[in-house]
């Protein structure tokens, strides 16, 4: 896809981008130059052709079945903003939480290979339980790893899921992509 937000396999690099060996080499070369590598984590949905979703479509006994939100299995499911090629993940599912945030989960795996942090796609669409576990895993693996969240509104007082979000003060995220500030600067510069 052109957007690349349709994860097929959290454990593998798209061959178009290189190999795991290439990734380690990139991280090492960047670190030698004082550059940090932050990965873009897409954890609110996968691609419809992901190994996880395909397995859930094949069988309700799949270890990934509970990761997805089916209205009527197999072809009626929740998708990110109604985009059927991006099936929504149940981020509160213990199996998914462990796979992403566990001791040997995806977050720690890529940090061990050399990543220095994570940028979270649509962080404001991720529930607090997931963000709490994510932060715990990342900081346990690499205390100085950076967690950047995509939050389009003012993150200092953002409410979603029926409550005020706990992004700041070291409680979930280290920072956010500050779109309101960027928009204010652009508006100012454009008159």
The residues assigned a catalytic role are: 121, 150
- Give DSSP secondary structure letters for the chain: --S----S-TTS--TTT--HHHHHHHHHHHHHTT---EEEE--SB--TTSHHHHHHHH-TTSTTGGGB-EEETTTEE-BGGG-TTSBBB-TT-HHHHHHHHSTTSHHHHHHHTT--EEEETTGGGS-HHHHHHHHHHHHHH-TT-EEEE--SS-GGG-EETTEE---TTTTS-SEE--HHHHHHHHHHHT-
């Amino acid at each position: 896809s052109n957007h690349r937000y349709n994860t097929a396999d959290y454990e593998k690099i798209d061959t178009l981008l290189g190999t795991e060996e290439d990734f380690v080499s990139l991280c090492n070369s960047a670190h030698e130059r004082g550059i940090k590598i932050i990965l873009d984590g897409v954890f609110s949905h996968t691609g419809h052709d992901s190994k996880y979703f395909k397995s859930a479509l094949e069988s309700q006994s799949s270890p990934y079945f509970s990761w997805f939100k089916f209205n009527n299995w197999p072809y009626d499911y929740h998708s990110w903003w109604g985009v059927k090629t991006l099936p929504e993940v149940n981020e509160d599912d213990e199996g998914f939480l462990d796979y992403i945030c566990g001791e040997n989960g995806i977050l720690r795996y890529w940090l061990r290979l050399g990543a220095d942090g994570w940028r979270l796609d649509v962080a404001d669409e991720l529930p607090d339980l997931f963000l709490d576990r994510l932060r715990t895993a990342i900081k346990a693996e690499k205390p100085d790893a950076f967690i950047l969240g995509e939050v389009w509104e003012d993150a200092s007082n953002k409410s979603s899921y029926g409550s005020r979000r706990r992004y700041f003060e070291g409680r979930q995220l280290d920072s956010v992509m500050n779109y309101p500030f960027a928009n204010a600067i652009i508006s100012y510069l454009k008159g």
